Amino acid sequence: MATLDDGSCEGIPDGDCDCLGNLLDECGVCGGDGSIPQGACDCEGNPPEWAYDCDGNCILDYDLDGICDDIDDCLDYDGDTLCDAIGCTNPNACNYNPAAVINWGCDMASCFGCTDATACNYDLNATSDNGSCLVPTGCDYCFGSAIADGDTDGDGVCNNEEIPGCQDPTACNYDPIYTDDAGNCFWVANIGWCNCDGDVLDECGVCGGLGIPEGDCDCNGNQLDECGGCGGSGIPAGDCDCNGNQLDALGVCGGPCASDANGNGICDDAEVGECMDSTACNYNP
């Protein structure tokens, strides 16, 4: 860092506009390219006056009368001092002038366009068709001046006529009227049904069945027997109960008495042999 000025400082050289040696261009821009915008007469981009160039001279002055042709009300092209009609002599042009002698300024664009009133890009002002008409067909329709696709899935059914729904014939909610798959198909296996009517299997495995009928004990129509066995045959012949017991000698089911020979209701092995005569001295009741 300098601490003392030794007089060696250098300024911008004469003629330069900065320390880099750049010069001002014709538009006053330091280091600019000096170019006036194309079609303009000055650095501000101003165009020339109509019919004149940037130097103020007529672009066209065929009869050299000092009045530019574009603004001259009387053009004398043949030197007879009479005004000659000037205009477009092309019968296909938008501004065709059948009275014109000198061909000038034919407009081949402004009147051309689509003349088909059914087209999306129909031009009410067009008098000559240029083959650009966009006419929708089938499901397609006009969206502004363009054709919009009216059958985006290409199934032959117009978008505004599509019916969304289940299109799988194996699903419960299938219907052939549906033209667009809505992704809402469902099957009985997914929801625990046994058919598409919403029925379920009963306890007998019958879809939509009522189960075991009242009074039955199983799905085969059997009833409980006296021993509580479903479809059983009850107490076997010779038995006195469901446990396989028989009556003993005293008629007791499953009793221990094997015999009662005298039929007095006392098992033989429980008899007491003593005097049973009430008049005897040793009577034992």
**pLDDT digit string, tens, across residues 8-63:** 667 788 877 888 888 887 777 887 776 777 778 888 778 888 788 888 888 777 76
How many residues does this entry show for the chain?
A: 285
- Looking at the predicted structure, is the pLDDT value of residue 224 above 90? yes
Sequence-separated contacts (24+) of 138-146 with Cβ below 8 Å: 144/120, 145/120, 145/121, 146/120, 146/121
Distances (CA, A) of 80 to 59, 68, 88, 102: 23, 19, 22, 15
Task: Please state, in angstroms and rounded to a whole number, the distance separating the CA atoms of residues 35 and 31.
Answer: 12
- Chain centroid to Cα 239, Å, comes to 79
Closest CA to 246 of 261, 258, 232: 258
The tokens for 36 are 């006036």
For the chain, the average pLDDT equals 86
Residue 174 near residue 168 (C-beta atoms within 8 A): yes
Fill in the DSSP letter of residue 244: S
**Residues of the chain above pLDDT 90, percent:** 46
* β-bridge partners, 142: 147
Q: ∠ at Cα 239 (234, 240), nearest 5°?
A: 90
147: which 2 tokens? 């054709």
Judge if pTM exceeds 0.85.
no
Is the pLDDT at 1 greater than 60? The verdict is no
Give the residue extent of every domain in the chain: 247-285
Residues in a beta bridge with 86:
102
pLDDT digits (tens, 9 = 90+) for 93-130: 988 888 777 787 888 888 999 999 999 999 999 999 99
